[in-house]
Structures are given as structure tokens and as C-alpha cells.
């Protein structure tokens, strides 16, 4: 095993770097730029039961130290992901991939997860509970411990692969939600998803994106992400995948010290498509600088 290896929910990966869902497509697009097998794995584009066109444009805007997006889970639907996207990916990626799943009702999550669970190339199911619950007044499943647990139980009942629950930071007590997911059978927790943000164009006096509000990501949210990863990692006994504003090897080490077993990189991929490759290549230098022999040794190193 190398210095960078970590074990994520029973699956050994070459390094902890994982491009985050929604920033890396279905992988093969980036494979035209570099060999994506350098990655630990990646989380592919959020997939729903049915195809979704997404929100009206404009739906992405830059802002200070980050970006706001409201893409709206645009994807071809789970059947086409299985029949069209995964075969393309298999030609350029020879490792288990993380399937990111979204839904608007509990049966939707279960249906989509059950289908993707059968795919040999899928290693983990990353279940995004930041989606509006259409049967709960539009509030996110991830804002309620009970609602999040209900999703986890439904998914675990129809799957055999590790289920990692992706949590929203737009809550009062993220620890309570993480613990509810663990109690319901989750194999891991990933956090944080984007924060809710808004910007206004002074010339037009209108919001910069058509949806008015959207997910705020980028370096500006990194301190919030580190804090939440630390809180959750010290409250649960399952692996935590940290994300939120990560853009350097030093950021990865900081996330892991806070308690992350693996680290997802999101907005940085949209600024520099080589970001994950560059971080992986730079990790040995950063480890030497801070006297780290093996990344596994520093997980949760800050008490």
C-alpha cells in the first residue's frame, strides 16, 4: 500500500481525492484531458429516477471567492445513465465509481439506488438528501433527522453496496442529522453540500441567476466545511467524506485532520479542469513538509 491509500467504507482507494458530483460530469469528458485513473474515485453527476432538464438559465454565476449555481439536477435519468453513460465511462476508468443519487420522494431514492446497486462499476452510493421533499412541503430531506433516516432505511433495504449520505449545511444541527443517518444504517457521511446564497446585479437590479438563490461553493465556504466535518466526524463511528472549498493539497490535509477519510473537490474543477490531478501530484510534497508518512495516520488527528 502507498502513502496516499485510504479505505473508504471497506473499499481501498489509491488516494483520498474524489471529484465532487456535478463538477466532473460522468468522467469521460475529463478523460480527454488526462488519465482519470489517477483519482481515488469520483462522484458522477447527480442522477434521478426520471430525466431532468434543469433550471432556467442563467444558472451559474461567479462571485467573490466562489460561485453560485442552481443547475437543477440536469441529468438523463437513471435508465440512460446505466445504458449510455456507464458504458462510456468503462472505456476510460477502471476503478469503482461513486454514484450520486437524488430524489424528490423516498420511493424515488429507493428505485434509483436499487438499479445502480446492480452495476458492477458502482462502488458506493452517495445519497444526496439536500433535495426538496415534494411530500414534505418542499423542505429538504436533509433538514430533518427523521426524514433523512427514512431515506437511508429505504435505500439500505434494497442495496448491498456502501451508502454514503450527503448532507446539507443549511441546517441548525448537522450532527443530529448525521447521527440519525448512522442509526438508520448509513455506511458513511459526506459533507458539506453547497450553502444557500444569492447575489444581485446592480445594473439590472435582478438576481444574477434565474432561480434567484442557489448553491454557494468555493474557497469562501472552506472554514465552515472544516468545522462541520470536525463536528460530525467526532460524533459518528462511520467514515466521513469532507468537501467544501477544497482547492489544494494543504486543504486536503486540513480536512483529514478534522476527521475526513476522503476529500471531495468541487468548484475547483470548474476553474481548473486539472485541479484534482494537480492536488494528487502535490500531496507527497505537502506531506513531507508537515512530517506526514501516511495519510491514514492523520485522519481525525485534531481532537
Partners of 125 in beta bridges = 99, 163
Q: DSSP characters for the chain?
A: --TT-EEETTEEESSSEEEPTTSSTTSHHHHTTS-GGGSS--BPPPB-SS-B--PPSP-EEEETTEEEE-----B--HHHIIIIIHHHHHTT--S-EEEEE--SSHHHHHHHHHHHHT-TTEEEEEEE--SB-TTTTT-BGGG-HHHHHHHHHHHHTT--S-EEEEPPS-SS-HHHHHHHHHHTT-SEEEE--PEEE--EETTTTEESSTTSSEEEESGGGHHHHHHHHHHHHTT-SS-EEE-SS--SHHHHHHHHHHT-SEEEE-HHHHH-TTHHHHHHHHHHHHHHHTT-S-GGGGTT---
Clarify whether 131 is annotated catalytic. Answer: yes
Of the residues 63, 92, 113, 131, which is catalytic?
Answer: 131
| Location of C-alpha cell 448512522 | 182
Q: Are the C-beta atoms of 18 and 263 separated by less than 8 Å?
A: yes
Q: How far apart are CA 140 and CA 169, in angstroms?
A: 11
- Distance (Å) of CA 64 to CA 214, 216, 220, 265: 15, 10, 8, 18
Q: Residues with catalytic annotation?
A: 131
Amino acid at each position: 500500500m502507498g502513502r496516499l491509500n485510504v479505505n473508504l467504507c471497506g473499499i481501498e482507494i489509491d488516494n483520498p481525492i474524489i471529484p465532487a458530483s456535478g463538477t466532473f460530469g460522468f468522467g469521460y469528458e475529463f478523460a480527454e484531458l488526462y488519465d482519470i485513473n489517477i483519482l481515488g474515485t469520483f462522484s458522477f453527476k447527480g442522477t434521478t429516477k426520471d430525466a431532468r432538464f434543469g433550471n432556467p438559465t442563467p444558472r451559474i454565476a461567479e462571485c467573490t471567492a466562489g460561485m453560485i449555481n442552481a443547475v437543477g439536477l440536469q441529468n438523463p435519468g437513471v435508465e440512460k445513465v446505466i445504458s449510455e453513460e456507464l458504458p462510456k465511462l468503462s472505456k476510460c476508468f477502471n476503478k469503482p465509481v461513486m454514484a450520486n443519487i437524488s430524489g424528490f420522494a423516498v420511493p424515488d431514492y429507493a428505485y434509483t439506488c436499487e438499479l445502480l446497486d446492480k452495476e458492477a462499476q458502482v462502488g458506493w452510493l452517495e445519497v444526496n438528501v439536500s433535495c426538496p421533499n415534494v411530500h414534505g412541503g418542499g423542505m429538504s430531506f436533509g433538514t430533518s433527522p427523521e426524514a433523512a433516516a427514512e431515506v437511508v432505511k429505504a435505500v439500505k433495504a434494497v442495496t448491498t453496496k456502501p451508502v454514503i449520505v450527503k448532507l446539507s449545511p443549511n441546517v441548525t444541527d448537522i450532527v443530529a442529522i448525521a447521527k440519525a443517518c448512522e442509526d438508520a444504517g448509513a455506511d458513511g457521511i459526506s459533507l458539506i453540500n453547497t450553502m444557500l446564497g444569492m447575489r444581485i446585479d446592480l445594473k439590472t437590479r435582478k438576481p444574477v441567476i434565474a432561480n434567484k438563490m442557489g448553491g454557494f461553493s468555493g474557497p469562501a465556504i472552506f472554514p465552515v466545511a472544516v468545522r462541520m466535518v470536525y463536528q460530525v466526524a467526532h460524533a459518528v463511528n462511520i467514515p466521513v467524506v469532507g468537501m467544501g472549498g477544497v482547492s489544494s493539497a494543504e486543504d486536503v490535509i486540513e480536512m483529514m485532520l478534522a476527521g475526513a477519510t476522503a476529500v471531495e473537490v468541487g468548484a475547483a474543477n470548474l476553474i481548473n479542469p486539472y485541479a484534482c490531478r494537480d492536488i494528487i501530484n502535490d500531496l507527497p510534497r505537502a506531506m513531507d513538509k508537515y512530517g506526514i508518512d501516511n495519510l491514514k495516520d492523520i485522519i481525525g488527528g485534531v481532537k
